[in-house]
Chain A
Amino acid sequence: MTVRTEDIERSSAQASQELAQFESAFQEHWPRVYGVLFRLVGDHAEAEDLALEAFWRLYRRPRQASDNLGGWLYRVAMNLGFNALRARKRRARYEEQAGRLESVSAANSDPAETTERTDQRARVRAVLAQMQPRAAQMLILRFSGFSYAEIAAAIGVASSSIGTLLARAEGEFENIYRKLEGE
């Protein structure tokens, strides 16, 4: 294996075009990516962190011929969000096992949150956490104002299926919500 200097320099025209595309994607999607992640994780700093991670991956992603940039970006963001939630649950479980029970909502010290809102949010997230991941994603995206076409691009299904999947997801949410409220 031999490393030559040419390998290290990329064609500068190609590089600046890709950078321009990235910049415009960033400006366009930053608030919405944040919004989706905030709904998932509920913490401003964490949501921004994850959003930056999603954009960083976009930055690093090798260009493909048929680019579905928006869809890809939200798919990555949702995966990051759900993984963060799973990691949080795991951490909570370990701490529980170690006898150090730490309330997740107590750790969230955003001043904009009232106690009531904190409880409400915890309830809704508890329901989402128990749903099939794709169904939960569907609800988050729809109620963040995404069109069926945008949801289809992010989830990776045909847009003609969205109506059916959305109705099912809502059914699932309702069932789980009722069950949790009943406890």
Chain B
Amino acid sequence: MHLTDGEIRALLDHELGAPEKEKVEQHLGECSQCRTQAETLSERASQIGLHLAVLVPQPGEAPSPANLARARLDSRVIDMEDKTMLKKIFARQYRLAWVAVAIIAILAVALAFPPVQAIANSFLGLFRVQQVTFVQVNPGNLPDQLGSSSQFEYMLSEDVQVEDLGELQKAADAAEASALAGISVRLPASIEGDLRLEIQPGTRASFKVDLARVRAVLAELGQADLQLPDEIDGATITLELPASVVAAYGDCQFDSEGARAAGSDPDSPTPRLPECTTLVQMLSPTITAPPGLDLAKLGEAYLQVMGMTPEEAARFSQTVDWTTTLVIPIPRYGTDYEDVQVDGVQGWFIQQSLEDHADQFLLIWIKDEIVYALTGPGNISTALTIAESLK
């Protein structure tokens, strides 16, 4: 009965408890075959030790002192917060609720305060989102208030009420989905996997404006000179997002009911992503803006809050038609994006490399007033192939 390689190896590393060590050493004294094997293993371990020793950091490659590294970690926390935010946008189970709140939040910031339905009558400036554009922001410049969705809502008021305007419904095909959702639903012809088609009800978000709080926060964000009419104080502000159609292909174990019930809490741990490609389509949100609002100025303020310098913000603001364009900030750190031609219009492609999972993409475009968001594993050609096959 000879020694196993494991026992010999452990002995060589002095990792055997006393009784076992004694047993093994005794056997080695008596068994030449095992002694030979022990020599072989020992030789080999030394050789490999020498090989791996070349990987050891040399004096010029030593790590930074721990205190310095710790300080760097601090300044990266804000950077990382945004990476988490983007990652959560890709998390299958929370994406839809999160996207709804993100759109609400972004629109709220874009307009300095969200559309007012309950306030008086002379509202002009109705516009419908026709375009989406992305702007890279330096997450290090973002103030803490924008670090998480719950904090952001806190910034606006004590209580934000979000309610579903209807029930989740399932559909068997595009025709049925179109009837239920009230839009002309298109589905990709070239895609693999079982289809699961659901109609997510529209969402209404409402809260009461606490003007003193909004002004205080804007002041803190360096936007104190933004003019906000007094009459919006105490008003109930409501934003409605239309129903959306979600077509999920493949292994999509997401419980959309559970996700919506759990609420839009992107601070929950991200669940494992299934091999799932999803197409979301939604009538683009409509925003009612009060008159007398200089949208370009507001847009500039918004961009400055997102970290652009006043000059950059002014320049960028000129290039955007704020009455029809939704400007979405994305963190510069670790994200690739580009504008692409898709479905006959200009869209945006974002690639995210995630540990543990295949690369995920997000392709977003607006055509005929419908917002399309396609996400799943793959690269740009995967995304465009699917998008171009929409019928």
**Interface residues, chain A, CB within 8 Å of chain B?**
1-5, 7-8, 23, 26-27, 30-31, 34-35, 38-39, 42, 44, 47-48, 51-53, 55-56, 59-60, 62, 79-80, 83, 87, 110-113, 117, 120-121, 124-125, 127, 139-140, 142-143, 147-148, 161-168, 170-171, 173-174, 177
Pick the residue among B41, B73, B151 that contacts A52 (CB under 8 A). Answer: B73
Flag if B13 contacts A30 (CB, 8 Å). no
Q: How far is the CA of A47 from the CA of B84 in the complex (A)?
A: 21
Q: How far is the CA of A121 from the CA of B60 in the complex (A)?
A: 16
Q: How far is the CA of A110 from the CA of B15 in the complex (A)?
A: 37
Flag if B66 contacts A112 (CB, 8 Å). no
Q: How far is the CA of A8 from the CA of B150 in the complex (A)?
A: 8
Chain A residues whose C-beta falls within 8 Å of the C-beta of B161 in the assembled complex: 1-2
Mostly, the B contact residues are helix
- Who on chain A is nearest to B160 by CB? A3
Flag if A26 contacts B13 (CB, 8 Å). no
Flag if B150 contacts A112 (CB, 8 Å). no
For chains A and B in complex, what number of residue pairs have CB atoms within 8 angstroms? 152
Q: How far is the CA of A165 from the CA of B8 in the complex (A)?
A: 12
* A-B contact list, 22 entries, CB within 8 Å: A4-B158, A4-B159, A7-B150, A30-B63, A31-B66, A38-B57, A44-B60, A44-B63, A48-B72, A52-B76, A79-B355, A127-B51, A140-B55, A143-B49, A147-B15, A148-B13, A163-B5, A165-B6, A166-B6, A166-B9, A174-B44, A177-B51
Chain A residues whose C-beta falls within 8 Å of the C-beta of B60 in the assembled complex: 44, 110-112
Q: How far is the CA of A56 from the CA of B28 in the complex (A)?
A: 48
- Who on chain A is nearest to B52 by CB? A143
**B77 CB–A CB distance under 8 Å:** yes
Chain B residues whose C-beta falls within 8 Å of the C-beta of A164 in the assembled complex: 4-6, 9
Flag if A38 contacts B356 (CB, 8 Å). no
Contact string against A for B residues 50-92, beta-carbon threshold 8 Å, 1 for contact and 0 otherwise: 0111111111110110100110110011001000100000000
A132 to chain B, nearest CB (A): 15
- Who on chain A is nearest to B79 by CB? A56
**B263 CB–A CB distance under 8 Å:** yes
Flag if A51 contacts B63 (CB, 8 Å). yes
- Who on chain B is nearest to A36 by CB? B55
Chain B residues whose C-beta falls within 8 Å of the C-beta of A117 in the assembled complex: 54, 58
Chain A residues whose C-beta falls within 8 Å of the C-beta of B84 in the assembled complex: 60
**Interface residues, chain B, CB within 8 Å of chain A?**
4-10, 13, 15, 41, 44-45, 47-49, 51-61, 63-64, 66, 69-70, 72-73, 76-77, 80, 84, 150-151, 153-154, 158-162, 263-264, 269, 353, 355-356
Flag if B44 contacts A121 (CB, 8 Å). no
Chain B residues whose C-beta falls within 8 Å of the C-beta of A174 in the assembled complex: 44, 47-48
Flag if A143 contacts B48 (CB, 8 Å). yes
A150 to chain B, nearest CB (A): 11
8 closest A-B pairs by CB:
A112-B60, A164-B6, A163-B10, A163-B6, A34-B63, A1-B263, A167-B5, A39-B55
Q: How far is the CA of A59 from the CA of B305 in the complex (A)?
A: 27
Flag if A170 contacts B48 (CB, 8 Å). yes
Flag if A44 contacts B15 (CB, 8 Å). no
B143 to chain A, nearest CB (A): 16
Q: How far is the CA of A167 from the CA of B11 in the complex (A)?
A: 12
Flag if B269 contacts A62 (CB, 8 Å). yes
Pick the residue among A8, A60, A83, A121 that contacts B55 (CB under 8 A). Answer: A121
Flag if A3 contacts B150 (CB, 8 Å). yes
Chain A residues whose C-beta falls within 8 Å of the C-beta of B269 in the assembled complex: 62
B80 to chain A, nearest CB (A): 5
B82 to chain A, nearest CB (A): 12
Q: Indicate whether A124 sits within 8 Å of B153 (C-beta atoms), given known contacts A1-B162, A48-B63.
A: no
Q: How far is the CA of A163 from the CA of B16 in the complex (A)?
A: 10
Q: How far is the CA of A83 from the CA of B162 in the complex (A)?
A: 39
Pick the residue among B55, B159, B353 that contacts A38 (CB under 8 A). Answer: B55
B115 to chain A, nearest CB (A): 20
Chain B residues whose C-beta falls within 8 Å of the C-beta of A27 in the assembled complex: 66, 70
- Who on chain B is nearest to A2 by CB? B159
Q: How far is the CA of A34 from the CA of B44 in the complex (A)?
A: 27
Flag if B355 contacts A80 (CB, 8 Å). yes
- Who on chain A is nearest to B355 by CB? A83
